[in-house]
Amino acid sequence: MTDYLATGNLPDDYRQLAASVADFARTVVAPVSAEHDAQHSFPYEVVAGMAEMGLFGLPFPEEYGGMGGDYFALCLAIEELAKVDQSVAITLEAGVSLGAMPIHRFGTDAQKGEWLPALTSGRQLAAFGLTEPGAGSDAGGTRTRAVLDGDHWVIDGSKQFITNSGTDITALITVTAVTGVGPDGGKEISTIVVPAQTPGLTVEPAYDKVGWKASDTHPLTLTDVHVPEANLLGERGRGYANFLRILDEGRIAIAALAVGAAQGCVDASVAYATQREAFGRPIAANQGIAFKIARMEARAHVARTAYYDAAALLLAGKPFKKQASIAKLVASEAAMDNARDATQIHGGYGFMNDYPVARHYRDSKILEIGEGTSEVQLMLIARTLGL
């Protein structure tokens, strides 16, 4: 991929995918975004359309119903969706990189055969149950426990801020849980697949969020939840390490989402500034406005280059942790800064929910928090420098 990183000339298959998703975002997603945002309703009809396009199967092999593509293809699709609706984009991102990907990366052949076909088709969604009330950035502070009783795991605990966990098509939640004591005397953390309808799993009422209002997000309570021993995902005691790998990959996808949001703000600002007149001329003729939009475009371009770079390393099988953190950091900041500038350019209209930039302004802040805060990214980058 590095041969076209510098030029920006993507191969035809990538360009065609991006163009197809862009058209879908413009004609299907955009017309219903404001309504779903206002009603806090999950866009089932949009998700069904994405499923029909094969977006949920992009990075998975065809033997499990996937499209046989790669992680970069997924990122391109997420970027195009995020230009018009971050809630839709995060539904795809979480459903694939956090929901289905752990099954693909760490599941047994039996687990892959059981779960992946429905997930890659988009008929069902999976969720990633990591964060807890006392374990956010400090994921090692996990308190949820799983005890092996005969041939079943018995799980008790709680999770919070879990995306795609309460929809009508949610099939499973993969949860981290303390399953014993590790060799170093610390917590042995494992990952276990909990089917959505398992007795004892309670999906609590949805959050009233500042943004991403059409995205499904719930706290979860697990009380005496029994699942088969075979639902252990990956090696016992490797759950924390495995989810760190999933988060590293996910940061590239979140960066792509943030780039889409940043570019969406640029596109909306260009359209508005060339049409809106003040003092007898378009406001785009004012250097203060033109320069502000130019800086927004520069932010989006730099952030896009950063996530392309991280994705190239991932696909090449090379270390990418630092580059993923850099991409996530600069892209989320670009999205937030561009949303702020776009709102300012739109003036009073930018404060009205009728305009997409208002949603971007509310939606973008979580990009600096979710899947590792900006402070966590700085910590990870600093560690690679020996600091």
- Please state, in angstroms and rounded to a whole number, the distance separating the CA atoms of residues 213 and 217: 9
The number of helices, as runs of H, and strands, as runs of E, in the chain is 13, 10
Cβ proximity of 250 and 93 under 8 Å: yes
113 C-beta neighbours (distance < 10 Å), count: 12
Cβ proximity of 226 and 200 under 8 Å: yes
Which is the catalytic residue, given 35, 79, 371, 375?
Answer: 371
Q: For 57, which DSSP code?
A: G
Handedness of CA 168, 172, 177, 180 (dihedral sign): positive
How far apart, in Å, are the Cα atoms of 157 and each of 14, 310, 352? Answer: 42, 35, 40
The closest alpha carbon to 193, from 228, 158, 236, belongs to: 228
213 by DSSP, 3-state: which? coil
> If you write DSSP's letter for every residue of 248-291 in order, what string do you get?
HHHHHHHHHHHHHHHHHHHHHHHHHHHH-EETTEEGGGSHHHHH
Based on the residue annotation, tell me whether 371 is a catalytic residue of this protein: yes
Q: Catalytic site residues? A: 371
